[in-house]
Amino acid sequence: MACLGAQLFLIMTVSLRDTFSIFATTPTIFPAEANEFWQRREQTTAALLGEGLDHSNWFRNGIAVYLHSAGIEAGYGFFAPNVPANYKLVFELHYPDGRNEYDIPRVSSAAAGVRLAGLLDQLADVNYAPLRATMMKIVAYSVWQEHPDASMLRAYFGRARLPTPGEFERGNKGSYELLFAYDFTFRGTNLNAP
Amino acid sequence: MRSSKQRLEEFLFPADSDTWLGILRIGVGLQVIIYCLSLRTDWTDLFSLERAGLIKRDLSEAMLSAQSHYIPRLGWLVDFAAHFGVSEQAALTAAWWSLLCAAFLLLIGLFSREAAIATLFLHLCAVKSTSGLTYGVDNFTSIGLFYIMVAPLPDRWAADCWLRSAPRRNPHLQGFHRRILQLHLCLIYFFGGITKCAGAGWWDGTSIWRALIRPPFNLLPPETLIAWKNLFPVLSISVCLLETGYPLFIWPRKTRTFCLLAVITMHLAIGVAMGLYLFSLVMITLNLAAFRPEFSFNGMRMNATRQIAGPPGPISSSGSRHADPL
């Protein structure tokens, strides 16, 4: 019974933490003035999970390992409160002879394609710029390995705004908005080097 | 008059058959096998540091270490294999085959407990090492595997039962573990529903439309979908009400079958219209295991009262409280 209580408590705490986080950071039907309230509630629930403790703390580590092992480390706000925008990543490959080509990240199965879409969503959500640049560089490196002659890669990451049903009926197929761009050169680089 | 403690015990420890566990084991075993096969061609590219993977394993694992160094990851297996001179490529291939074999053993129910532990560990290693490429289905698979791992195995359909003559566990223990899964599902849908209710797009149908035309889920052409635009508000409000109301409507006998059918229909529609077959499979499996049609909350309570003739006693170390009447 104690195990059941602990399991349900952890599921509820994680779900509340993620729900408060979603309410605090994304547009909802709640007034924007409530964002600070949601943020405080999120911090409280995160503290219950030991997230404010030192990284070496046994309680924090124990909870984290248990949550991940039981598959309950994340809440359940799929496609909520709003369906995320459609993100696109395009690489412009520059060759020494002045030629330019375009490519996109590729996978060889539909299952991996769904996962790739999730990766683009995560890239858009990363607020810490150095981490986003590192993730982008790794994806760009995988594309460069297919085109080792390219002297430079320019990565364009953008958001495709999906039309509403009304806009679609009027012939509007949506628009594309560039969010950020990065230039990478890989010649003589080995990302796997320690 | 029964005390509230007694009623709580009767609620938490109803006598139940092991059918739910069989459904969960077979469904999740199948799920992991399809997961392995669907990523067969991309497996090495996804995990190898030496190949042109989309996102490197070491980055995912470094991000994971920010949460804890003790969360399972494929890097452990690769490093362990490296001590014996085994290459990364060989270690990753062995991990794929091990996961496939463990899932197959789980599917047929041979060495069920060991297979469940191995499948959970290897699946966890794989999904945690590609944290940038995971989505909800991986969490739900982990949830299913975790409950199988701690459940009173084997069930009557497991090969362990007829090949190894493993003893089956008592029905109250089965009922308790199933009850945890039922309560967990209620929380999953409630929080999923309440978060959707907070988005304006779920009240005017825009979210359903956006979900269906958003790549890579845009299997149906928007020109076809637009003909059904008047249905979008009805469908999306129904999804909100169904998910938020799941904990209320899944328990009473009068609404249970409708609620279960509606949820299964919703997941089938997600699978067909958006191509999320694995997600649909795992959600339908969890729902059928938790609330399959013959389940009756009132009936179970009455049965439990009749069979145990008193509050349940303490569980023995072997996990049995009463002789298994099955």
Mutate to test the interface with B, among A73, A79, A186 (most CBs of B within 10 A): A79
Give the residues across from A102 on adjacent strands: A92
Contact between chains at B134 and A118 (C-beta distance less than 8 A): yes
- pLDDT tens digit sequence for A93-115: 999 999 999 988 877 777 777 88
Tokens 């503290």 sit at which residue? A47
Contact A118 B215 (CB under 8 A): no
Nearest to B134 by CA among A119, A113, A108: A119
Q: Token match 């986003």: residue?
A: A132
Alpha helices for A70-101 (secondary structure H) = none
> Which of chain A's residues have a Cβ under 8 Å away from the Cβ of B200?
27-29, 81-82
pLDDT class of B1 with cuts at 50, 70, 90: low
A-chain residues near B35 (CB < 8 A): 111
d(Cα B153, Cα B169) in Å, to the nearest integer?
7
Q: Residue A143: its chain B contacts at CB < 8 A?
A: 52
* Least CB–CB distance from A68: residue in B49, B124, B206: B124
* Distance of alpha carbon A13 from alpha carbon A6, whole angstroms: 10
**Residue A103: its H or E element:** strand A100-103
- Kindly identify which residue of chain A lies nearest to residue B212, measuring between CA atoms: A83
Neighboring chain B residues of A78 at a CB cutoff of 8 Å? 136, 192
* Cα B232 to Cα B238: distance, rounded to the nearest angstrom: 10
CA distance B175 to chain A (A): 13
For residue B148, count CB atoms less than 10 angstroms from its CB and return exposed for 0-12, middle for 13-18, buried for 19 or more. Answer: buried
Summarize pLDDT for B48-77 with one digit per residue, the tens.
877 666 667 877 888 888 888 999 999 999
Within 8 A of B180 by CB-CB distance, chain A residues are 4, 7-8
Position A29 scores a pLDDT of: 87
pLDDT at A189: 62
Residue A192 has pLDDT above 90, yes or no: no
Contact assignment for A77 to B53 by CB distance below 8 Å: no
Rounded distance between C-alpha atoms, residue A75 and residue A127, angstroms: 20
Q: What is the mean pLDDT of residues B38-42?
A: 85
Provide, as residue numbers in chain A, all residues whose Cβ is less than 8 Å from the Cβ of B275.
110, 114
C-alpha span between A58 and B70 (Å, rounded): 11
What is the Cα–Cα distance from B212 to B205, expressed in whole angstroms? 11
Q: Cα(B45)–Cα(B51) distance, rounded to whole angstroms? A: 6
Q: pTM, whole model, 2 decimals?
A: 0.86
Q: Is the peptide bond before B154 cis (omega within 30 degrees of 0)?
A: yes
Tokens of B224: 């076809």
Q: pLDDT tens, B201-236?
A: 999 999 999 999 988 888 899 999 999 999 999 999
Whether residue A69 and residue B128 make contact (CB cut-off 8 A), yes or no, is: no
**Separation between Cα atoms, residue A105 and residue A89, nearest integer Å:** 7
Mean pLDDT of A48-58: 89
Contact between B52 and A141 using a beta-carbon 8 Å cutoff: yes
Q: What is the DSSP letter of B84?
A: T
Chosen from A28, A60, A78 to mutate, greatest number of chain B CBs within 10 A:
A78
CA-to-CA separations, B210 to A161, B164, B195, B254, B278, in angstroms, rounded: 10, 52, 17, 34, 21
Q: Is the ipTM value over 0.90, yes or no?
A: no
